[in-house]
Structure 1
Amino acid sequence: MANFKLTISDKKGKSQSKELKDKEANVLVGMHVGNEVDATIVGLAGKLKITGGSDKSGIPMRGDVYGSARKKVLLSKGIGLKNAEKGQRRRRLIRGSTISEEIYQINCAYDGELKIEEAPKEEEKKA
């Protein structure tokens, strides 16, 4: 059974983390980066757009790599490559764009506004 950590962010820059297990998570298996899914699986109204993710060892998903397997890809810019100079290319390990059970974290963009509960301050805890 699949277990995912969903990181949901809205247009204002707020983000929230949710954990999906078993039947709720199986809805996402087989979807690709860029697909939209109904937000009711995390208790929100609207749509979630899958923007990326990573596996258990931190290998990022890339939208232009087909499949769900790890692949060594020659990159010149973008996701999975930091600090590349002009004209420089590097071979990096990347995960494909399809969500499988090996994926650990999924990043999503929410089309609405998130309501985030703030943690109580230390002064309020002592009182």
Structure 2
Amino acid sequence: MATFKLNISDKKGRTITKEVKEKEAGPFLGVTVGTELDAALIGEAGKLKITGGSDKSGVPLRADIHGGARKYILLSQGIGLRDAENGQRIRKLVRGNTVTEEVYQLNCSFDGELKIEEKPAEESAEKKA
């Protein structure tokens, strides 16, 4: 079965990372980028929207490519291309918008506010010393 690392961010910009394995990862398989899911899958109340991700070798998911396969496409801007000069186009490897077992990381946005557990100040002070 699949194992995913979920990077979940809320509207305030806070982010948490959760790892889902085996049966917990089942509902994410076959879902496309841009789909909204119930946040009960991660133990929260609300909606969870998949905004992107990458596969096991770091190739990004791109929402405008259908399927789950890796493809070389000609890019002038957008996801999968960092900097291109004006008029320059580069052929890059990207993965389609469907979540498969090869996907390693999923980026998600949560419509509510995340509860982040903070470590006590005593523990962090001890680690620095």
Query: Which TM-score applies when normalising by structure 2?
Result: 0.93
User: Which consecutive residues of structure 1, in runs of 5 or more, have no partner in the other structure?
Assistant: none
Instruction: Supply the AA of the counterpart residue of 1:34.
Output: G
How far, CA to CA, are the matches of 1:43 and 1:5 in structure 2?
15
User: Which consecutive residues of structure 2, in runs of 5 or more, have no partner in the other structure?
Assistant: none
How far, CA to CA, are the matches of 2:119 and 2:106 in structure 1?
24
SS in 1 for 2:41: helix
Per the TM alignment, residue 124 of structure 1 is displaced from its structure 2 partner at its CA by 6.4
Q: CA RMSD in A?
A: 1.4
Aligned residue for 2:64?
64
How far, CA to CA, are the matches of 2:2 and 2:42 in structure 1?
15
List, as ranges, runs of 4+ consecutive aligned residues in structure 1 with deviation greater than 3 Å.
none
Per the TM alignment, residue 120 of structure 1 is displaced from its structure 2 partner at its CA by 2.8
Aligned residue for 1:89?
89
How far, CA to CA, are the matches of 1:24 and 1:46 in structure 2?
17
Per the TM alignment, residue 69 of structure 1 is displaced from its structure 2 partner at its CA by 0.7
Aligned residue for 2:125?
123
Q: How many residues align?
A: 126
Query: Which TM-score applies when normalising by structure 1?
Result: 0.95
Matched, 1:54 2:54: yes
